[in-house]
Copies of this chain bind each other. A is one copy, B any other.
Amino acid sequence: MIRHPAFAPGSVWLAGAGPGDPALLTLAALHAIETADVILHDALVPAEILALAPAATRLVPAGKRAGGIHTPQLSINEDLIALARQDLRVLRLKGGDPFVFGRGGEECLALAAASIPFRVIPGISAGIGAASAAHMPITHRGVARSVVFATGEAGPAGGEVDFAALGRAADTLVLYMARQNIGRIAAALIAGGRSPTDPLAFLLDATTPRERVVHTTIGAAAAIAATLPPAATLVIVGPVAGIGAMLAPHRPEAEPSIRSAQG
């Protein structure tokens, strides 16, 4: 019933593995995992998903501190090209979506320059998956007509997103890799006009059995961040985080949602 394109030897597919829960793989990504000769995966792809590959598939950790080391992007690009030139079906499997903080664009440009045929399979981005699991409608009629996804990590040249402007312009903010800089980001949001009492939530290990949602405010975010256990963390800011808090008692199975004392 579902038709998949042929995964031709000598080509590379870039696929998103979604936010963690194997049930949030797309049918296209599952097909790619079942068909590839070799899978270059980052550390955000859980073992349960890699286990879906046939036993003969070669699994290669690459990028985002996979296997404890961080593979530089240029070396990943070179590996993809070299493997494709060995006439293999090469799957580049990434947590989330390849084009949302996944560096998929750099890989596409390298493959195009090397004349390697490629295809991109989108995935559920971590922010989208986490919002669903935490019952936070990142857009909501009358409350949020725009949502921005931004990285909280400072750029290589120290360049950083202008959070004051972003907080003024967009209703909902979904922040990746923002936990470490949350104090600075919260200060910028407040400087831009957001109230310190506006809702902010930390979403930890979303869509996995370890999932935890911590509700707080922009003003209290830095103090709360310091108390959180290590985990893949997304931050959602805006009134929709408050809707998530209202709906928290209705979340199925999940760990009880935690409302911070300081929030």
Contact = CB atoms under 8 A, between A and B. Distances in A.
Task: Report the interface size class on chain A.
Answer: 35 or more
Interface string A5-31: 100000000000011011111111011
A230 interface: no
Contacts of A160: 145
Contacts of A156: 142
Interface in A141-158: 141-142, 145-151, 155-156
A169 B142 CA distance: 21
A196 to B, nearest CB: 20
A263 B39 CA distance: 39
Quick one: copies of this chain in the complex?
2
A170 B148 CA distance: 8
A103 B141 contact: yes
A120 B99 CA distance: 23
A159 to B, nearest CB: 8
Contacts of A228: none
9 contacts: A1-B51, A5-B252, A97-B128, A99-B136, A100-B128, A145-B151, A145-B160, A148-B149, A148-B170
